[in-house]
């Protein structure tokens, strides 16, 4: 097959490209330029879209012996990922930009262009497995599993995607990179949000969304316990950086319970008030075949987060999951991914569906 290898400049994508060549595919490497001014994005080994990364990707392609190109995706990335990030925070939601980048850039814009150019598939260094049955399954290495952030792919996108690293632990991938003579073998993994140069999310949002004084209120008493200069700087479940002036009567820490952008209000309270056991999502993406009615599964609410047994119901155009045990600090805008636990551990859990969380609540508190 003619395969396009998305090469980020890290060790994972380099080894994935090398394995695709070794498997007999006709491979071309491509690096995505995601910023018109790369200096405004994170630099050094902690990034995933920097000038250094582009150079590392080119050197890896030379070692592997494949053609290499840089594609300018800056405008599309800004519109679909960065502007979405701003809009979600402005609406009081907590987005996952890496998940959105996978959905809109790596497996939409890139795959569309690749198919138009005659390529059969896109290969990436994500840690996930695509089984013979065509389902997306968890990686062998649970600490690196990225099936959660890939669950936004459509069945068509998944059909034209390859994940050669899903069956290999990360430490073995680094050893393989060294054996192949790839200079990125010991390059640290990327972290944080690539388009926030200094890692200061609050400051980044303030520059775009501005500052407006508002109140931080104790949800139980209605007492104003602090002030802020922008509700968009907070997220549900946040504990640190609240700047509260009035301590709780019991001396325990407070957490962000709700954010109301309309009146720029943030409510805080005890951790127990973050307890939820029912989650509602918008329209789901089905990867394991569309279902109706109610079924049993397991849901994951954060990348590398805890997994919860759940009863899932398809209703009102979305999904409603009743959790078998409570979760804490779940924010609208995050993703809920539903897995089908497979009794055969060698196969691994398969992704059934994903949906963006619209609401999370406690059934008991709601009086249901």
User: How many alpha carbons lie under 13 Å from residue 111 in its C-beta half-sphere?
Assistant: 23
Which of the residue ranges 183-197, 209-223, 249-263, 308-322 would you say has the lowest mean pLDDT?
A: 183-197
Architecture of the domain spanning 211-269: Roll (2.30)
Q: What is the predicted pLDDT for the residue at 308? A: 95
Domain 2-125+164-186: state its class.
alpha beta
Domain 2-125+164-186 matches domain 211-269 at the CATH topology level: no
Closest CA to 286 of 311, 318, 320, 334: 318
Q: Which of 48, 49, 98, 101 is catalytic?
A: 101
Residues of the chain above pLDDT 70, percent: 92
Q: How confident is the model at residue 366 (pLDDT cuts 50, 70, 90)?
A: low
Nearest 5 degrees, angle CA 93-CA 74-CA 47? 70
Domain boundaries, the chain: 2-125+164-186, 211-269
Which of the residue ranges 142-146, 202-206, 328-332, 362-366 would you say has the lowest mean pLDDT?
A: 362-366
Give tens-digit pLDDT for 18-46: 999 999 999 999 999 887 665 545 444 34
49 is catalytic: no
Count of CB atoms situated within 10 Å of the CB of 30: 22
Average pLDDT of 107-115? Answer: 90
Which of the residue ranges 197-206, 247-256, 353-362 would you say has the lowest mean pLDDT?
A: 197-206
Give tens-digit pLDDT for 201-210: 888 888 888 8
Give tens-digit pLDDT for 116-141: 999 999 999 999 999 888 899 999 99
* Residue 273, helix vs strand vs coil: helix
Q: How confident is the model at residue 156 (pLDDT cuts 50, 70, 90)?
A: very high
Eight-state DSSP code of residue 129 = E
Give tens-digit pLDDT for 157-199: 999 999 999 999 999 999 999 999 999 999 988 766 778 877 7
**What distances in angstroms separate CA 28 from CA 32, 119, 227, 304, one per listed residue?**
13, 9, 53, 31
Q: What is the predicted pLDDT for the residue at 45? A: 39
Residue 293's region, left for phi above 0, alpha for psi from -120 to 50, else beta, is left
* Distance of alpha carbon 121 from alpha carbon 28, whole angstroms: 11
Eight-state DSSP code of residue 349 = P
Q: What is the predicted pLDDT for the residue at 42? A: 46
What pTM does this model have? 0.89
Q: How confident is the model at residue 115 (pLDDT cuts 50, 70, 90)?
A: very high
Average pLDDT, the chain: 89
Question: Residue 195 corresponds to which tokens in the numbers above?
Answer: 């388009």
Average pLDDT of 86-98? Answer: 90
Average pLDDT of 248-276? Answer: 93
């Amino acid at each position: 097959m003619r395969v396009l290898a998305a090469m980020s400049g890290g060790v994972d994508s380099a080894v994935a490209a090398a394995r695709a060549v070794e498997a007999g595919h006709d491979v071309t490497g491509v690096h995505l330029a995601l910023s018109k001014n790369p200096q405004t994005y994170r630099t050094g080994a902690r990034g995933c879209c920097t000038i250094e990364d582009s150079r590392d990707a080119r050197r890896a392609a030379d070692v592997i012996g494949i053609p290499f190109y840089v594609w300018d995706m800056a405008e599309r990335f800004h519109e679909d990922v960065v502007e979405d990030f701003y809009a979600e925070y402005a609406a009081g939601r907590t987005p996952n930009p890496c998940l959105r980048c996978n959905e809109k850039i790596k497996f939409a814009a890139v795959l569309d262009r690749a198919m138009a150019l005659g390529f059969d598939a896109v290969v990436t260094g994500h840690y996930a497995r695509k089984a013979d049955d065509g389902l997306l399954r968890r990686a062998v290495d649970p600490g690196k599993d990225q099936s959660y952030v890939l669950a936004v792919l459509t069945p068509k996108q998944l059909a034209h995607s390859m994940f050669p690293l899903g069956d290999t632990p990360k430490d073995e991938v680094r050893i393989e990179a060294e054996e192949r003579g790839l200079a990125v073998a010991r390059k640290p993994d990327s972290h944080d949000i690539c388009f926030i140069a200094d890692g200061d999310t609050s400051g980044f949002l303030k520059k775009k969304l501005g500052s407006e004084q508002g109140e931080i209120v104790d949800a139980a008493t209605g007492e104003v316990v602090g002030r802020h200069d922008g509700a968009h700087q907070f997220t549900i479940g946040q504990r640190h950086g609240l700047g509260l002036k009035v301590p709780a009567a019991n001396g325990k820490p407070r957490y962000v319970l709700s954010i109301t952008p309309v009146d720029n209000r943030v409510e805080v309270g005890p951790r127990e008030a973050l307890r939820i056991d029912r989650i509602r999502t918008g329209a789901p993406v089905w990867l394991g075949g569309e279902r109706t009615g109610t079924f049993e599964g397991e849901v994951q609410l954060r990348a590398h987060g805890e997994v919860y047994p759940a009863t899932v119901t398809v209703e009102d155009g979305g999904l409603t999951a009743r959790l078998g045990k409570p979760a804490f600090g779940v924010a609208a805008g995050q993703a809920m991914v539903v897995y089908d636990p497979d009794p055969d551990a060698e196969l691994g859990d398969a992704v059934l569906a994903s949906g963006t969380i619209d609401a999370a609540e406690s059934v008991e508190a709601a009086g249901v």
